[in-house]
Amino acid sequence: MNAVKHPIKRSFVFFLVPDFTMIAFATALDPLRSANRMLGYEAYRWRLASIDGKPVRASNGVECAVNTSLEEERKKMAGPDRPNMAIVCSGVNVERYHNKSAFAWLREEYNRGVAVGGLCTGAHILAAAGLLSNKRCAIHWENLPGFSEAFPKANVFADLFEVDQNVYTCAGGTAALDMMLKLIGDDFDESLVNRVCEQVLTDRVRSPTDRQRLPLRARLGVQNSKVLTIIELMEANLSEPLSLIEIADHVDLSRRQIERLFRTEMGRSPARYYLEIRLDRARHLLIQSSMPVVEVAVACGFVSASHFSKCYRELYARSPQQERVDRKQLLAA
Protein backbone atom coordinates (compact mmCIF):
# COMPACT_ATOMS: atom_id res chain seq x y z
CA MET A 1 0.00 0.00 0.00
CA ASN A 2 1.42 3.35 -1.03
CA ALA A 3 2.20 5.80 1.76
CA VAL A 4 0.03 8.87 1.83
CA LYS A 5 2.01 11.88 0.69
CA HIS A 6 2.03 14.56 3.35
CA PRO A 7 0.51 17.85 2.19
CA ILE A 8 2.86 20.75 1.66
CA LYS A 9 3.08 22.87 4.78
CA ARG A 10 4.76 26.24 4.88
CA SER A 11 4.81 28.32 8.04
CA PHE A 12 5.26 32.08 8.25
CA VAL A 13 6.20 34.64 10.84
CA PHE A 14 4.91 38.11 10.00
CA PHE A 15 7.05 40.60 11.89
CA LEU A 16 5.06 43.80 12.40
CA VAL A 17 6.92 47.10 12.53
CA PRO A 18 5.19 50.24 13.88
CA ASP A 19 3.35 52.15 11.12
CA PHE A 20 3.16 49.04 8.94
CA THR A 21 0.83 49.22 5.94
CA MET A 22 -2.37 47.31 6.61
CA ILE A 23 -3.31 46.71 2.98
CA ALA A 24 0.01 44.99 2.21
CA PHE A 25 -0.22 42.87 5.37
CA ALA A 26 -3.83 41.85 4.69
CA THR A 27 -3.28 41.02 1.01
CA ALA A 28 -0.29 38.85 1.95
CA LEU A 29 -2.08 36.97 4.71
CA ASP A 30 -5.56 36.39 3.31
CA PRO A 31 -4.52 34.39 0.20
CA LEU A 32 -2.99 31.84 2.59
CA ARG A 33 -6.28 31.56 4.46
CA SER A 34 -8.15 31.19 1.17
CA ALA A 35 -5.73 28.52 -0.06
CA ASN A 36 -6.26 26.50 3.13
CA ARG A 37 -10.00 26.78 2.67
CA MET A 38 -9.83 25.66 -0.97
CA LEU A 39 -7.58 22.72 -0.09
CA GLY A 40 -9.62 21.61 2.88
CA TYR A 41 -6.63 21.38 5.20
CA GLU A 42 -4.01 23.61 6.78
CA ALA A 43 -1.29 23.81 4.14
CA TYR A 44 -0.17 27.19 5.45
CA ARG A 45 0.34 28.31 9.02
CA TRP A 46 1.30 31.72 10.33
CA ARG A 47 1.86 33.73 13.46
CA LEU A 48 2.46 37.40 14.13
CA ALA A 49 5.46 38.77 16.00
CA SER A 50 6.64 42.09 17.34
CA ILE A 51 9.80 43.20 19.13
CA ASP A 52 8.30 42.78 22.61
CA GLY A 53 5.16 40.72 21.98
CA LYS A 54 2.94 43.76 22.43
CA PRO A 55 0.34 44.97 19.88
CA VAL A 56 1.61 47.05 16.96
CA ARG A 57 -0.19 50.05 15.52
CA ALA A 58 -0.53 50.18 11.72
CA SER A 59 -0.25 53.41 9.77
CA ASN A 60 -4.06 53.61 9.62
CA GLY A 61 -4.25 53.66 13.44
CA VAL A 62 -5.49 50.08 13.89
CA GLU A 63 -3.68 48.12 16.60
CA CYS A 64 -2.87 44.51 15.78
CA ALA A 65 -2.29 41.90 18.50
CA VAL A 66 0.61 39.48 17.96
CA ASN A 67 1.44 35.95 19.06
CA THR A 68 5.11 36.16 19.94
CA SER A 69 8.05 38.41 20.73
CA LEU A 70 11.46 38.16 19.05
CA GLU A 71 12.84 36.56 22.20
CA GLU A 72 10.24 33.80 21.82
CA GLU A 73 10.94 33.52 18.10
CA ARG A 74 14.64 32.94 18.84
CA LYS A 75 13.70 30.02 21.09
CA LYS A 76 11.66 28.49 18.27
CA MET A 77 14.54 28.58 15.78
CA ALA A 78 15.98 25.20 16.72
CA GLY A 79 12.67 23.40 17.22
CA PRO A 80 9.69 22.15 15.19
CA ASP A 81 8.10 25.61 15.23
CA ARG A 82 10.88 27.20 13.20
CA PRO A 83 9.20 29.05 10.31
CA ASN A 84 9.85 28.51 6.63
CA MET A 85 9.65 32.25 6.00
CA ALA A 86 9.96 35.43 8.07
CA ILE A 87 8.26 38.44 6.49
CA VAL A 88 8.83 42.03 7.61
CA CYS A 89 5.71 44.19 7.41
CA SER A 90 6.54 47.89 7.45
CA GLY A 91 5.28 51.10 5.90
CA VAL A 92 5.74 54.81 6.43
CA ASN A 93 8.69 56.28 8.34
CA VAL A 94 10.74 53.13 7.76
CA GLU A 95 13.92 55.17 7.31
CA ARG A 96 13.94 56.01 11.03
CA TYR A 97 13.56 52.37 12.13
CA HIS A 98 16.84 51.13 13.64
CA ASN A 99 16.57 48.10 15.88
CA LYS A 100 19.71 45.99 16.18
CA SER A 101 17.80 43.16 17.83
CA ALA A 102 15.42 42.89 14.86
CA PHE A 103 18.29 43.07 12.38
CA ALA A 104 20.19 40.32 14.22
CA TRP A 105 17.09 38.10 14.37
CA LEU A 106 16.53 38.43 10.63
CA ARG A 107 20.16 37.49 9.95
CA GLU A 108 19.88 34.48 12.27
CA GLU A 109 16.73 33.27 10.51
CA TYR A 110 18.31 33.71 7.09
CA ASN A 111 21.53 31.96 8.10
CA ARG A 112 19.49 28.97 9.32
CA GLY A 113 17.90 28.59 5.90
CA VAL A 114 14.67 30.46 6.60
CA ALA A 115 13.46 32.56 3.67
CA VAL A 116 13.07 36.25 4.45
CA GLY A 117 10.67 38.74 2.91
CA GLY A 118 9.61 42.35 3.02
CA LEU A 119 6.24 43.95 2.31
CA CYS A 120 5.90 47.56 1.14
CA THR A 121 9.04 49.16 2.61
CA GLY A 122 10.26 45.95 4.25
CA ALA A 123 13.21 45.84 1.86
CA HIS A 124 14.61 48.83 3.75
CA ILE A 125 14.78 46.80 6.97
CA LEU A 126 16.21 43.75 5.20
CA ALA A 127 18.89 45.95 3.64
CA ALA A 128 19.67 47.56 7.00
CA ALA A 129 20.12 44.03 8.36
CA GLY A 130 22.69 43.37 5.63
CA LEU A 131 20.60 40.86 3.68
CA LEU A 132 20.19 42.59 0.31
CA SER A 133 23.76 43.12 -0.92
CA ASN A 134 23.80 42.06 -4.60
CA LYS A 135 20.20 40.89 -4.30
CA ARG A 136 17.31 41.90 -6.54
CA CYS A 137 14.57 43.55 -4.53
CA ALA A 138 11.47 45.69 -4.82
CA ILE A 139 10.21 48.57 -2.69
CA HIS A 140 7.34 51.02 -2.95
CA TRP A 141 8.06 53.62 -5.66
CA GLU A 142 7.74 56.50 -3.18
CA ASN A 143 10.66 55.10 -1.13
CA LEU A 144 12.84 54.04 -4.04
CA PRO A 145 14.98 57.22 -4.34
CA GLY A 146 15.98 57.24 -0.67
CA PHE A 147 16.52 53.48 -0.64
CA SER A 148 18.81 53.60 -3.69
CA GLU A 149 20.98 56.26 -2.08
CA ALA A 150 21.09 54.52 1.33
CA PHE A 151 21.80 51.00 0.02
CA PRO A 152 23.75 51.20 -3.25
CA LYS A 153 24.74 47.50 -3.07
CA ALA A 154 21.11 46.37 -3.33
CA ASN A 155 19.74 45.82 -6.84
CA VAL A 156 16.42 47.59 -6.39
CA PHE A 157 13.74 47.70 -9.08
CA ALA A 158 10.42 49.49 -9.43
CA ASP A 159 8.73 46.12 -9.89
CA LEU A 160 5.68 44.73 -8.12
CA PHE A 161 7.76 42.04 -6.45
CA GLU A 162 11.11 40.31 -6.68
CA VAL A 163 12.24 36.83 -5.71
CA ASP A 164 16.01 36.32 -5.48
CA GLN A 165 16.79 32.86 -4.14
CA ASN A 166 15.62 32.94 -0.51
CA VAL A 167 14.65 36.63 -0.43
CA TYR A 168 11.12 37.81 -1.29
CA THR A 169 10.26 41.51 -1.50
CA CYS A 170 7.25 43.37 -2.82
CA ALA A 171 6.25 46.98 -3.31
CA GLY A 172 3.29 46.79 -0.95
CA GLY A 173 -0.36 47.51 -1.59
CA THR A 174 -1.94 44.79 -3.67
CA ALA A 175 1.48 43.69 -4.95
CA ALA A 176 1.65 41.53 -1.80
CA LEU A 177 -1.27 39.55 -3.19
CA ASP A 178 0.60 38.87 -6.44
CA MET A 179 3.72 37.73 -4.60
CA MET A 180 1.79 35.33 -2.37
CA LEU A 181 -0.20 33.97 -5.29
CA LYS A 182 3.09 33.17 -7.03
CA LEU A 183 4.28 31.36 -3.92
CA ILE A 184 1.04 29.37 -3.74
CA GLY A 185 1.41 28.52 -7.43
CA ASP A 186 4.96 27.30 -6.84
CA ASP A 187 3.75 25.07 -3.99
CA PHE A 188 0.69 23.73 -5.78
CA ASP A 189 -0.63 24.56 -9.24
CA GLU A 190 -2.40 27.15 -11.35
CA SER A 191 -5.79 25.63 -10.55
CA LEU A 192 -5.48 26.50 -6.87
CA VAL A 193 -4.24 29.99 -7.71
CA ASN A 194 -7.27 30.53 -9.96
CA ARG A 195 -9.64 29.42 -7.20
CA VAL A 196 -8.01 31.80 -4.72
CA CYS A 197 -8.25 34.60 -7.31
CA GLU A 198 -11.98 33.94 -7.63
CA GLN A 199 -12.37 34.13 -3.86
CA VAL A 200 -10.60 37.49 -3.57
CA LEU A 201 -12.24 38.86 -6.73
CA THR A 202 -9.13 39.43 -8.80
CA ASP A 203 -8.94 38.30 -12.39
CA ARG A 204 -5.23 37.56 -12.74
CA VAL A 205 -1.82 37.31 -11.11
CA ARG A 206 0.24 40.23 -12.30
CA SER A 207 3.79 39.71 -13.51
CA PRO A 208 6.59 40.70 -11.10
CA THR A 209 7.78 43.29 -13.63
CA ASP A 210 4.40 44.97 -14.09
CA ARG A 211 4.46 48.69 -13.33
CA GLN A 212 3.94 49.86 -9.75
CA ARG A 213 2.64 53.21 -10.91
CA LEU A 214 0.18 54.05 -13.63
CA PRO A 215 1.78 54.47 -17.06
CA LEU A 216 2.76 58.06 -17.78
CA ARG A 217 -0.08 58.39 -20.28
CA ALA A 218 -2.67 57.70 -17.56
CA ARG A 219 -0.80 59.34 -14.67
CA LEU A 220 -0.28 62.67 -16.45
CA GLY A 221 -3.28 62.63 -18.76
CA VAL A 222 -0.94 63.20 -21.72
CA GLN A 223 -1.54 61.54 -25.06
CA ASN A 224 1.28 62.94 -27.21
CA SER A 225 3.84 60.15 -27.63
CA LYS A 226 6.75 62.57 -28.18
CA VAL A 227 6.04 64.38 -24.91
CA LEU A 228 5.80 61.06 -23.07
CA THR A 229 9.14 59.94 -24.51
CA ILE A 230 10.75 63.21 -23.44
CA ILE A 231 9.39 62.88 -19.89
CA GLU A 232 10.70 59.31 -19.68
CA LEU A 233 14.12 60.60 -20.75
CA MET A 234 13.97 63.28 -18.07
CA GLU A 235 12.97 60.83 -15.34
CA ALA A 236 15.82 58.51 -16.33
CA ASN A 237 18.40 61.33 -16.17
CA LEU A 238 17.88 63.26 -12.93
CA SER A 239 21.39 63.26 -11.47
CA GLU A 240 22.96 64.34 -14.77
CA PRO A 241 20.25 66.30 -16.59
CA LEU A 242 20.23 66.26 -20.35
CA SER A 243 20.35 69.53 -22.24
CA LEU A 244 17.39 70.47 -24.42
CA ILE A 245 19.62 69.95 -27.47
CA GLU A 246 20.40 66.38 -26.34
CA ILE A 247 16.72 65.71 -25.74
CA ALA A 248 15.86 67.14 -29.18
CA ASP A 249 18.39 64.78 -30.79
CA HIS A 250 16.85 61.80 -28.99
CA VAL A 251 13.32 62.49 -30.20
CA ASP A 252 14.16 63.97 -33.59
CA LEU A 253 12.48 67.31 -32.93
CA SER A 254 13.75 70.87 -32.84
CA ARG A 255 14.09 72.81 -29.60
CA ARG A 256 11.29 75.11 -30.71
CA GLN A 257 8.97 72.17 -31.40
CA ILE A 258 9.65 70.74 -27.92
CA GLU A 259 9.01 74.12 -26.31
CA ARG A 260 5.67 74.38 -28.15
CA LEU A 261 4.63 70.83 -27.24
CA PHE A 262 5.33 71.34 -23.55
CA ARG A 263 3.52 74.65 -23.44
CA THR A 264 0.49 72.98 -25.02
CA GLU A 265 0.52 69.63 -23.17
CA MET A 266 2.10 70.48 -19.79
CA GLY A 267 1.36 74.19 -19.42
CA ARG A 268 5.03 75.06 -18.84
CA SER A 269 8.40 74.95 -20.52
CA PRO A 270 10.38 71.69 -20.71
CA ALA A 271 13.10 73.27 -18.57
CA ARG A 272 10.58 74.12 -15.87
CA TYR A 273 9.04 70.65 -15.92
CA TYR A 274 12.49 69.03 -15.75
CA LEU A 275 13.36 71.21 -12.76
CA GLU A 276 10.14 70.26 -10.97
CA ILE A 277 10.70 66.51 -11.24
CA ARG A 278 14.29 66.90 -10.04
CA LEU A 279 13.05 68.89 -7.04
CA ASP A 280 10.38 66.27 -6.37
CA ARG A 281 13.11 63.61 -6.18
CA ALA A 282 15.11 65.90 -3.90
CA ARG A 283 12.12 66.25 -1.57
CA HIS A 284 11.83 62.47 -1.30
CA LEU A 285 15.54 62.21 -0.47
CA LEU A 286 15.32 64.94 2.17
CA ILE A 287 12.39 63.20 3.83
CA GLN A 288 13.57 59.60 3.51
CA SER A 289 17.33 59.82 4.03
CA SER A 290 19.95 61.49 6.20
CA MET A 291 22.02 62.56 3.20
CA PRO A 292 23.60 66.02 3.62
CA VAL A 293 21.77 68.69 1.67
CA VAL A 294 24.76 69.18 -0.63
CA GLU A 295 24.70 65.46 -1.54
CA VAL A 296 20.96 65.64 -2.22
CA ALA A 297 21.66 68.58 -4.52
CA VAL A 298 24.30 66.63 -6.47
CA ALA A 299 22.08 63.52 -6.67
CA CYS A 300 19.38 65.64 -8.30
CA GLY A 301 21.62 67.37 -10.82
CA PHE A 302 22.32 70.72 -9.15
CA VAL A 303 25.80 72.20 -9.49
CA SER A 304 25.70 74.00 -6.12
CA ALA A 305 23.84 73.77 -2.83
CA SER A 306 22.94 77.47 -3.00
CA HIS A 307 21.28 77.13 -6.41
CA PHE A 308 19.45 74.02 -5.20
CA SER A 309 18.19 75.83 -2.08
CA LYS A 310 17.02 78.81 -4.14
CA CYS A 311 15.04 76.60 -6.56
CA TYR A 312 13.64 74.49 -3.73
CA ARG A 313 12.41 77.53 -1.83
CA GLU A 314 10.76 78.96 -4.95
CA LEU A 315 8.77 75.76 -5.51
CA TYR A 316 7.96 74.64 -1.95
CA ALA A 317 8.11 77.99 -0.08
CA ARG A 318 10.67 76.63 2.37
CA SER A 319 14.33 75.71 2.28
CA PRO A 320 15.63 72.12 2.11
CA GLN A 321 16.88 72.52 5.68
CA GLN A 322 13.42 73.64 6.83
CA GLU A 323 11.87 70.65 5.04
CA ARG A 324 13.98 68.39 7.25
CA VAL A 325 13.14 70.35 10.42
CA ASP A 326 9.40 70.24 9.63
CA ARG A 327 9.60 66.50 8.96
CA LYS A 328 11.36 65.80 12.27
CA GLN A 329 8.81 67.88 14.16
CA LEU A 330 5.95 66.01 12.47
CA LEU A 331 7.44 62.64 13.40
CA ALA A 332 8.04 63.75 16.98
CA ALA A 333 4.47 65.01 17.40
308 or 225: which leads in pLDDT: 308
312 or 284: which leads in pLDDT: 312
Domain stops at, among 200, 234, 259 = 200
74 or 220: which leads in pLDDT: 74
Pair 126, 51 in one domain? yes
Question: What local confidence, expressed as pLDDT, does residue 249 receive?
Answer: 94
Q: Tens digit of pLDDT for each residue in 37-84?
A: 999 999 999 999 999 999 999 999 999 999 999 999 999 998 899 999
Q: Tens digit of pLDDT for each residue in 283-309?
A: 988 887 778 999 999 999 999 999 999
Q: Tens digit of pLDDT for each residue in 129-170?
A: 999 999 999 998 888 888 988 899 999 988 899 999 999 999
238 in a domain, yes or no? yes
Pair 188, 273 in one domain? no
Pair 180, 221 in one domain? no
- Dihedrals φ, ψ of 28, to 5°? -90, -40
**Could you tell me the CATH number of the domain that includes residue 17?**
3.40.50.880
Domain stops at, among 153, 172, 200 = 200
5 in a domain, yes or no? no
Question: What local confidence, expressed as pLDDT, does residue 332 receive?
Answer: 57
Residue 312 CA: distances (Å) to CA of 229, 235, 277, 278, 287: 26, 18, 11, 10, 14
Does the structure show a pLDDT above 50 at 3?
Answer: no
Q: Tens digit of pLDDT for each residue in 165-213?
A: 999 999 988 999 999 999 999 999 889 999 999 988 887 778 787 766 6
**pTM (2 d.p.):** 0.76
**Could you tell me the CATH number of the domain that includes residue 222?**
1.10.10.60
Task: Tell me the C-alpha distance between 270 and 266, whole Å.
Answer: 8
Question: What local confidence, expressed as pLDDT, does residue 218 receive?
Answer: 63
Task: Report, in this order, helix, strand and coil percent for the chain, each rounded to 5.
Answer: 50, 15, 35
Q: How many domains does the chain have?
A: 2
Question: What local confidence, expressed as pLDDT, does residue 205 receive?
Answer: 77
Pair 184, 253 in one domain? no
Residue of 21, 87, 8 whose CA lies nearest to 57: 21
- Residue 167's domain spans which residues? 10-200
4 in a domain, yes or no? no
Domain stops at, among 173, 200, 227 = 200
Pairing mode, strands 167-170 and 161-164? antiparallel
Pair 267, 156 in one domain? no
**Lowest model confidence (mean pLDDT) among 31-45, 103-117, 203-217:** 203-217
Does the structure show a pLDDT above 50 at 1?
Answer: no
Question: What local confidence, expressed as pLDDT, does residue 325 receive?
Answer: 84
Does the structure show a pLDDT above 60 at 4?
Answer: no
1 in a domain, yes or no? no
59 in a domain, yes or no? yes
Pair 182, 293 in one domain? no
- What torsion do the CA atoms of 95, 101, 102, 103 make, to the nearest 10 degrees? 70
320 or 202: which leads in pLDDT: 320
Residue of 282, 229, 146, 200 whose CA lies nearest to 28: 200
Pair 196, 229 in one domain? no
Pair 185, 49 in one domain? yes
Mean confidence (pLDDT) of the chain: 90
